[in-house]
């Protein structure tokens, strides 16, 4: 029904397979096909045009570009799959992949754990929950650039973090100059930004568990820990799945923190000392928009897409365990991913 190509062919007698509203509508208005479908088609046309020009076309164009060698000004030169070959032999690219995964792991695991703890505590709290929510969510809505600037000063050699270490008699750490210092600093920023967000998502999941389940557990003589592990956590699984998947997608796209922290007019230091803060997207940006290798950047975009797709699948499998929940997870992800994308 919905895939009938020509509006005129979708005559009045044939269209009962459609929605109820339409069935009634066709009775209320003239049965001429074009006139009936005109307004809704007109209504979705802005989206369709925008989607075609700025959504679908770039994806196709990006695939085309990824086989070309192009500086954006001169002629394109077809290089085909060699582009991907160069990319796979590029040690900086692999370094950026490794960095991205290290930062993703260092941030996501503690973040989800802390969010779960905070959600449980918030759930058992009855006073000021509204204020807590606002306070926990503020890091997520704030400009990443501004907060990276702040964290950059906190982690500077003479910054607050090292001053605090000095107070307790420890040596300063090269937060922004050593390999693990850089990764920990970036992870701290990510954790700070996303813990509250995920805690609120988990809290919503907790609140959706029916009271009767707790009653039943209590009648059966379960203690707090048993209730937690046998009743609460299993029911939270879809929500945890959602958080794990969105965190992975976001984590693999990290850019702003590292770019702002180690931004420099000098191309050589993008990604920080030893390029330990070089992430996949940062490298994509550098190659495409600093070095003007548009084709190379496009190819990197596709590899990023492949990596994200693989990890998303692994994540679903790990957390969901069953296909049915996996699909529920996909649906919830579709619904929520947009909301997790702000300030990418």
Partner 1 sequence: MAVDERERTTGSAGLAIGSGSRLTRVCVRGVLLLGVLISLFPFYWLVVMASGTTEDIYSYPPKLVPGPHLLDNMGRVLDTVDFFGSLFNTVVVAVVGTALVLFFDSLAAFAFAKYEFPGKRFLFGALLATYMIPAQLSLVPQFVTMAEFGWAGSLTALIIPGAANAFGIFWMRQYAQNSLPDELLDAGRIDGAGFFRLYWQVAMPLFRPALAFLGIFTFISIWNDYIWPLVVMIDPDRVTLQVALANLNVLYNTDYSLVMAGALMSVVPLIVVFLIGARHFLRDLAAGATKM
Site residues (CB under 8 A) for partner 1, limited to 309-338: 309, 328, 331-338
Selected from 190, 284, 320, 326, the binder of partner 1 by CB under 8 A is 284
CA distance 5 to 211: 50
Site for partner 1 in 223-262 (CB under 8 A): 224, 227-228, 232, 238-239, 242, 249, 253, 255-256, 259-260
Output the smallest distance, CB 85 to partner 1, in A. 19
CA distance 313 to 293: 31
Output the smallest distance, CB 206 to partner 1, in A. 8
CA distance 212 to 148: 45
The DSSP code for 259 is: H
Binding mask 94-133 for partner 1 (x = CB under 8 A): -----------------------xx-xxxxxxx--xx-xx
Burial 8-37 (b: 16+ CB within 10 A, else e): eebeeeebeeeeeebeeebeeeeeebeebb
Size of site (CB under 8 A) for partner 1: 136
Q: Does 137 bind partner 1 (CB under 8 A)?
A: yes
Output the smallest distance, CB 53 to partner 1, in A. 7
Site for partner 1 in 165-224 (CB under 8 A): 166-167, 192, 195-196, 200-201, 203-209, 211, 214, 224
CA distance 101 to 176: 18
What are the distances in angstroms from CA 298 to CA 84, 92, 191? Answer: 10, 16, 29
Output the smallest distance, CB 323 to partner 1, in A. 15
Tokens of 324: 């049915």
């Amino acid at each position: 029904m919905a895939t009938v190509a020509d509006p005129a062919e979708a005559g009045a007698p044939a269209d009962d397979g459609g929605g109820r509203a339409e069935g009634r509508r066709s009775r209320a208005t003239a049965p001429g096909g074009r006139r009936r479908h005109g307004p809704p088609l007109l209504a979705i046309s802005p989206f369709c045009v925008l989607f075609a020009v700025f959504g679908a076309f770039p994806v196709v164009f990006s695939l085309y570009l990824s086989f070309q060698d192009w500086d954006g000004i001169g002629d394109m030169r077809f290089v085909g799959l060699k582009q991907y070959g160069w990319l796979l032999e590029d040690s900086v690219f692999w370094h950026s992949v490794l960095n991205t995964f290290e930062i993703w792991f260092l941030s996501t695991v503690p973040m989800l754990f802390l969010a779960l703890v905070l959600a449980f505590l918030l759930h058992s709290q009855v006073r000021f929950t509204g204020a807590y929510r606002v306070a926990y969510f503020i890091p997520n809505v704030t400009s990443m650039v501004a907060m990276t600037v702040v964290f950059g000063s906190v982690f500077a050699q003479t910054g607050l973090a090292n001053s605090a270490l000095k107070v307790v008699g420890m040596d300063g750490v090269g937060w922004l100059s050593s390999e693990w210092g850089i990764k920990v600093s970036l992870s701290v920023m990510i954790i700070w930004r996303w813990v509250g967000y995920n805690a609120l998502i988990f809290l919503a999941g907790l609140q959706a568990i029916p009271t009767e389940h707790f009653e039943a557990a209590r009648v059966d003589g379960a203690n707090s820990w048993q209730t937690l592990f046998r009743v609460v956590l299993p029911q939270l699984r879809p929500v945890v799945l959602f958080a794990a998947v969105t965190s992975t997608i976001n984590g693999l796209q990290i850019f702003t923190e590292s770019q702002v922290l180690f931004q420099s007019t000098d191309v050589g230091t993008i990604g920080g000392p030893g390029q330990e803060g070089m992430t996949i997207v940062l490298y994509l940006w550098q190659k495409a928009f600093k070095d003007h290798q548009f084709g190379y950047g496009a190819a990197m975009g596709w590899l990023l897409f492949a990596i994200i797709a693989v990890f998303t699948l692994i994540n679903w499998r790990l957390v969901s365990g069953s296909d049915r929940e996996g699909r529920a997870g996909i649906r919830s992800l579709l619904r929520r991913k947009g909301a997790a994308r702000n300030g990418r």
